[in-house]
Structure 1
């Protein structure tokens, strides 16, 4: 349900944090305040004197929260990235929106991968790749996100969305970007 044009309240029966965040992201919500999920170890704001770990702010003002936004984790979905591209660039000159969702592969030949770990250093590479994609003639815009932390086999790893005038530019740019990502991040040639 809604409150007014500037803010909304959503009450969701489902108790899974990831599902809730996915719903909000896919709906185009850029910022959300979530109550509950106290057992999850993500950065948090605490109102009152509740004992908790990972407290970034306690009893903050709105300005305090806004100033501290970089300390909180972002959440992305493919649909959310596509929505961002459409909102920022429009689609009047676009003929293609290409998406790619990389996952942690469990088996490569006979070698098994249980999990992979990534830190903030991946952000510089994905930003460089995004700029490279956007420099290709025919590409209108791109969004590239690589998840961080410990990611297990089968989990989403990368999200790429490309808005292009034609599908050919989008496919070529995506292949180059993913190949470079794997080469530089994983030291793998495929």
Structure 2
């Protein structure tokens, strides 16, 4: 169980390797978000309010643990300026069985996208713009 909000890059393999050490797990699900290019995007910048952000992520993780039979979880979310191709965040879940691992990972991702207090600014060759919330992200919460 780990929640981290950080500027520095993280090692996906090392994080998953730590989670694999518990032999009770029969499933390990990972999602990694990456800064994608397009429309002359050159970077993505994420801002947050530290005291609020970590507690919000911990609440999302705690809710997943209450709903599913999980062995371990990781939420890592980066802040600051990120270049194209860099990892933004990672959610990983280990569980005795795959259904719980997949569902918990999807739940955490859906809530991270819509409820985690991050503000995103896109940097283009021609200027910057803040990223608006998407209706589809809110809609994804209805299934939970």
1: CA distance between counterparts of 2:8 and 2:40?
Answer: 32
Q: Secondary structure at the match of 2:71?
A: strand
Give distance in 2, aligned partners of 1:138 and 1:157.
27
Are the structure 2 counterparts of residues 123 and 74 from structure 1 closer, same or farther at C-alpha, using a change threshold of 3 Å?
Answer: farther
Report the TM-score, using the length of structure 2 for normalisation. 0.64
Identify, as 1 or 2, the structure richer in strand: 2
Q: With CA pairs under 8 Å and 6+ residues apart, which has the higher RCO, 1 or 2?
A: 2
The gaps in structure 1 that reach 5 residues or longer are 1-71
What do residues 149-181 of structure 1 show as CA deviations (whole Å, max 9, x unaligned)?
112332101112111111111111111111111
> In 2, distance between residues paired with 1:179 and 1:73?
22
In structure 2, the residue matched to 1:118 is: 47
Q: Which has the larger radius of gyration?
A: 1
Unaligned runs of 5+ in 2: 1-5, 119-132, 138-144
Q: Distance in 1 between matches of 2:11 and 2:90?
A: 7
RMSD: 2.7
- TM-score, normalised to structure 1's length? 0.50
Give the one of 165, 169, 179 matched to 2:110. 179
- Aligned mate of 2:74, from 143, 153, 156: 143
SS of match in other structure, 1:106:
coil
Q: What's the counterpart of residue 121 of structure 2?
A: none
Q: How many residues are aligned here?
A: 114
